[in-house]
Structure 1
Amino acid sequence: MKNSFLYLTTVLIWGSTWLAIEFQLGIVAPEVSLFYRFTMAAILMWGYCKWRKLEMNYSLREHGYFVLLACFNFGFNYLVLYWAQAYLNSAMTSIAFSTLLIINIINTRLFFGKRIASRIYIGASIGIAGIVALFWHDFGGFDFSSTAMIGLVMALLGTFMASLGNMVSVRNSNKGIGVLQGNAWGMFYSSIILLVYIEFSGAEFIIDTRWSYLASLAYLTLFGTVFAFACYFVLLKNIGPEKASYTIVLFPIVAVILSTLFEGFVWQENTVLGFVLVITGNAVVLTPLKKLKMISLKYSQRQQQKAWLLK
């Protein structure tokens, strides 16, 4: 039940952040908005850790991994994905980012030598096919001969960086580092790294005083960063990155639903097909093979009983 709650919470929050990010773009440079976001998140995380009197002293080696977590999960991965959207629409970026599931599976095998069940590859493939189906019209209109190829490469690079951050988080958990403490240090280092980058990039520290910007910034900080990352990293620890990262495939479902409610998104045949594929893939990934066989056996028995009753 705990893992189910964490899973659902992560999907709902991060699925809604795609809409919130739209209100962040325009006036304030992306790196500056990210600096505001992770600085406030770091303050909140540190305040909570101090209030709970959690251990915050770690070796220099561990701080090196906190810096890696900052770069790959709380910093440059976001920047690269923002840059990608200068060449791609949000649908294409979502499709590219959903490959995090596959990349996490591969990296889990490479970094931790963990054997991956065959059903996870099958379920992941079905889920990715569902994402493509959901955004088929955008995907079909993609011109691979244009500069959009640059955007696609950037989106995949940002996704790969996020996967490396996931691996660092798993490593930290395996070493007994608490999720909250690791996130607090990671966000602290992220704010410093972003500050240095802003100084070199020449971006201006300005603030958008519109209510939409301030409200979305608050939402992205408190829920999209502090709460969702804590839930997701606990999932990484509890059920492994190959399963936890399937939340990435479900994000577009929430995004499409919100787009339907607030942006007038029109459902089509490919939308329905995509939803069915994503849900099916999710069930395959999260259901052990023995349970799948049991479900299949029970279904078969019921069919036989129905046939017998009809006779």
Structure 2
Amino acid sequence: MNTLLYLAVVLIWGTTWLAIGLQQGPVAPTVSIFYRFALAAGLMMLGLALSGRLKALAARDHLWCLAQGFCVFGFNFYCFYHAAAYLSTGMEAVLFSMAVLYNAANGVLFFRQPLEGRLLAAALLGMAGICSLFWPELRAAQWSPELLKGIGLCLLGTYGFSLGNLISARHQRLGLDLLSTNGYAMSYGALLMGALALAQGLPFNLDPRPAYLGALLYLAVVGSVLGFWAYFRLVGRVGASRAAYSTLLFPLVALALSTFFEGYQWHPKGVLGLALILAGNLVMFPAVLARLKPWLGLGARA
């Protein structure tokens, strides 16, 4: 089950970066975020209500859902949608990979969780792989104020996402229904983004292009409803630190799409980066390595 959830998160969120890029245009980022989570929350809450699965929460739990909505479905995406004006979606995916380190640090800071040596080794391998994978792009980018602003926004947004992970873990430790807490949190996030757009005087226009509307529908249903359910379910099963390791594979999915649709050219450092990231996954999930040992000739010999 954990493997299926992990793969679902990687494949779903690895493709959402391209969809976010398709939403750049005449609609303000804040309004696009509002549309995305208003649609996602509406579908989720309606489905839960009709199926009788929407659970009531205590006032204290609603406050935590409000905080989760702000961190994950508001602040996080506000930063990344605005950073798209300064960075490529591939570089955004790279910076989002910092979630694995943020989650580990926050686990130590807030829950006094021990920092596992396996997690640290896997994180170092993964981050080294990400740097190698995108080194040509990083070298080509000039360290302009716009680039620094984009990097800063991505790092802030990733930390907001990490804090939201801890709140979801709190919900699940208390036995709260995952779908219900996600639905309420998305609703609060949409309301916050709508209120911010109104405060900024932004028009609630809609881009009629099929690319924008298709991306909106994909981000709301697949990226938000299904993606966040799978991810937060994984957080509840394996912990925020291990679940966040999936973020190190997002850029690989983005690159696969870029290879197919945009003619991305692989280079030696990219191949090395891919090998390091896969090695980090094997370190992180020893059960996978145990299954591969017979094929690698690493099994016990008589």
- The TM-score normalised by the length of structure 2 is 0.93
Q: Report whether the alignment pairs 1:263 with 2:245.
A: no
**1:55 deviation in Å?**
4.6
Structure 1: 5+ residue stretches without partners: 306-311
Pair 1:15-2:14 in alignment:
yes
Q: Does 1:148 align with 2:140?
A: no
Distance in structure 1 (CA, Å) of the matches to 2:110 and 2:47? 31
Q: Deviations 1:63-113 (Å, cap 9, x if unpaired)?
A: 110001101111111011122233333333222111110111111122222
Which residue in the other structure is 1:73 paired with? 72
Task: Report what 1:90 is aligned to.
Answer: 89
1:193 and 2:192 aligned:
yes
Q: 1:49 aligned to 2:48?
A: yes
Displacement of 1:145 after TM fit? 5.8
1:105-161 CA distance string (max 9 Å, x none): 111122222223201100111001111111111112344464422222221111111
Secondary structure of 2:298's match?
helix
Structure 1 235/281 Cα, relative in aligned 2: closer, same or farther at 3 Å? same
Q: Structure 1 counterpart of 2:178, which letter?
A: V
TM-score, scaled to structure 1: 0.91
- Structure 1 moving runs of 4+ over 4 Å: none
**Conserved in 2, the CA contact under 8 Å of 1:243 and 1:286?**
no
The aligned amino acid for 2:255 is V
State the partner residue of 1:35: 34
Larger Rg belongs to: 1
1:230 Cα deviation after fit: 0.3
TM-aligned CA deviation for residue 163 of structure 1: 0.3
| Identical aligned residues as a percent | 38
Looking at structure 2, the residues matched to 143 and 110 of structure 1 have their Cα atoms a distance apart, in angstroms, of: 35
Decide whether the 8 Å contact of 2:123 with 2:280 is kept in 1.
Answer: yes
The alignment status of 1:4 with 2:41, answered yes or no, reads: no
The number of aligned residues is 300
Distance 1:210 1:299, change over 3 A: same
146 and 39 in structure 1: CA distance in 2 versus 1, 3 angstrom threshold: closer
Displacement of 1:193 in angstroms is 0.6
Letter in 1 for 2:224: T
> Following the alignment from structure 2 to structure 1, what is the Cα–Cα distance between the partners of residues 146 and 19?
27
Aligned counterpart, 1:236: 235
Question: CA separation in 1, counterparts of 2:95 and 2:15?
Answer: 17
Match of 1:106 in 2: 105
CA distance in 1, matches of 2:48, 2:177: 10
